[in-house]
A and B are shown apart, each in its own frame.
Chain A
Amino acid sequence: MIGSTGFRTLVYKETLRFYKVATQTVAAPILTAMLYLLIFGHVLEGRVTVYPGVSYTAFLIPGLVMMSVLQNAFANSSSSLIQSKITGNLVFVLLTPLSHWEIFSAYTIAAMVRGITVGAGVFIVTAWFAHMSFEWPLWIAVFALLGAAILGTMGLIAGIWAEKFDQLAAFQNFLIMPLTFLSGVFYSIHSLPPFWLTVSHLNPFFYMIDGFRYGFFGQSDINPWTSLAIVSAFLVVLALLAIRLLRSGYRLRH
């Protein structure tokens, strides 16, 4: 068994929490991703070719899967924390012997479970629309897990920082959404003008999606090892920040 009973219980509770409202937390984002595919795939199929031998719809599917993984991982930890803070029931976790490290890991792992579940669901319903290949399945798994962990951690940080729902919404709308949409979900960054190409290289989300896509097609904008290094470093920095916030009790233990 991994970790203490307390840690496993918190993972279970955070997973059960989203499972109990699966229509909202799993089915709805799958439907949204499918709508993106139907609309963008229909409009752009045949007009845009990103990689040789790969249709636009096939190119789009991994992007949509990864976008769903990222957004839902973020939503899980951030919404759970802010709701618990505002309704006051976070006290049930804060009163326990759980360490800051255990709290961090449990929230992040539960966020990863939701992100991966939604991502898998999106893949299952969208893969019918294009011929998909799996060149390097391990890269697919590695980038999906790392991306989910990063966004789960970002959700944790946002949930700790935000004291009101609108602060969390601002975090989501002004940071997470732009970083996701401008990361190459719908296009290859090589189709961008030089300025925006450079800007895109500063977006860590780009490396997650690009590396993830490499697993499917064996082709990417950036060498996957470079992406792996950047994404891993980003996760380490965010995890250290989140653990530091939890250890200091910032906005949790006043």
Chain B
Amino acid sequence: MTAIEISNVEKRYKSLQALGGVSLSIEEGEFFGLLGPNGAGKTTLISIIAGLIRADSGTVKIHGHEVTGDFRAARKKLGVVPQELVFDPFFTVRETLRLQSGYFGLPNNDKWIDEVMHNLDLTNKADTNMRALSGGMKRRVLVAQALVHKPPVIVLDEPTAGVDVELRQTLWKFISRLNREGHTVVLTTHYLEEAQAMCKRVAMLKSGKVVALDTMSALIRRISGSQLIVHMTQGDLPEDMRHLVTHPESAETGRKYSLRINDYAEVEQILARLRAAGVVIDEMQLQQADLEDIFLQIMDKGAL
């Protein structure tokens, strides 16, 4: 079943095209990453999914429920952790969670509220007023609020922005567990290593458009696999090896090349061919391609 179905969503703010025809389909149980630089339209898209912003055109469905026409059913299926650190200063943590639960029609939900607080290390802050919490603790409450009605789809907009390592680990452990239990998770983050570790599939947004959409492993494969960086003191790269160069524009002729390799066995073959061509290497490095390489390449070129 499709958890989130986004079809041709457009949003314009005066002269700024925030989203220009975004279409995406996220399946139930996926751990999906939504990546892009600041201003790419990630938060606008999430806000449209959450019903906080109305799209100019296009449709968004959550578990088959359209987010404006059938908003009650759609919102019951969705838990959103907003990017901004917002809180209601009038209430304690427990009151905040009970109220949020009540809005979703669950008045006697203390068992689950206790479990969520336990998993986010909030139990000893249950009766503390929201004003008295640190930024990290407030972030935990935001996550707890999004989970209080056990939504099958969880959207986290930069949940780890400006929080310490401990919270990140606590958060990812809990979110991973929920994902294993069948919850669909959609994540935006600036921490690409986090996205690489957590997400099975990603979409990259640039200027309101999807410029890449694939599984994490396929994206990494598509760019280059790993790279062997060689620094030469003598000789030059043979012509028949030039197709292996991953960044021709940054290669220093006769000095330094980044060569694509698909598995480590190829290292020996490349070195043998270079030796045979009279090349002397004074330094070499093996580098694993990562999401950051892909991200930078896509953002530079606009698409893979």
Contact = CB atoms under 8 A, between A and B. Distances in A.
18 contacts: A8-B102, A9-B102, A13-B102, A16-B95, A21-B90, A87-B86, A87-B88, A93-B103, A95-B50, A95-B75, A95-B80, A96-B104, A97-B71, A97-B73, A97-B105, A99-B72, A253-B52, A254-B52
Contact of B90 (A16, A98, A99): A16
B51 A9 contact: no
Interface of B: 50-54, 71-73, 75-76, 78, 80, 82, 84, 86-91, 95, 99-100, 102-107, 145
Given A20-B90, A89-B88, A253-B51, A6 B104 contact: yes
Q: How large is the interface on A (under 10, 10 to 19, 20 to 34, 35 or more residues)?
A: 20 to 34
Nearest to B79: A95
A190 interface: no
Interface of A: 4-6, 8-10, 12-13, 16-17, 20-21, 84, 87-89, 91-99, 249, 253-254
Contact of B105 (A4, A20, A254): A4
Nearest to B76: A97
B145 A6 contact: no
Contacts of B54: 249, 253-254
Contacts of B78: 95
A3 to B, nearest CB: 11
Contacts of B107: 5, 8-9
A84 B52 CA distance: 14
A40 to B, nearest CB: 35
B283 to A, nearest CB: 52
Nearest 10 A-B pairs (CB), nearest first? Answer: A9-B102, A88-B86, A96-B103, A97-B72, A5-B105, A97-B75, A89-B88, A89-B86, A6-B103, A13-B99
Contacts of A20: 90
A5 B107 CA distance: 7
A249 B54 CA distance: 8
Most interface-central of A5, A87, A99 (chain B CB within 10 A)? A5
A98 B103 CA distance: 7
Contact of A92 (B51, B105, B106, B145): B145
Contacts of B82: 88, 91
Contacts of A6: 102-105
Given A96-B103, A97-B105, 12 more contacts: A4-B105, A5-B106, A6-B102, A88-B82, A91-B82, A92-B86, A92-B88, A92-B103, A92-B145, A96-B100, A97-B73, A253-B51
Contacts of A91: 52, 82, 84, 86
A20 B95 CA distance: 12
B84 to A, nearest CB: 5
Given A92-B88, A97-B75, A10 B52 contact: no
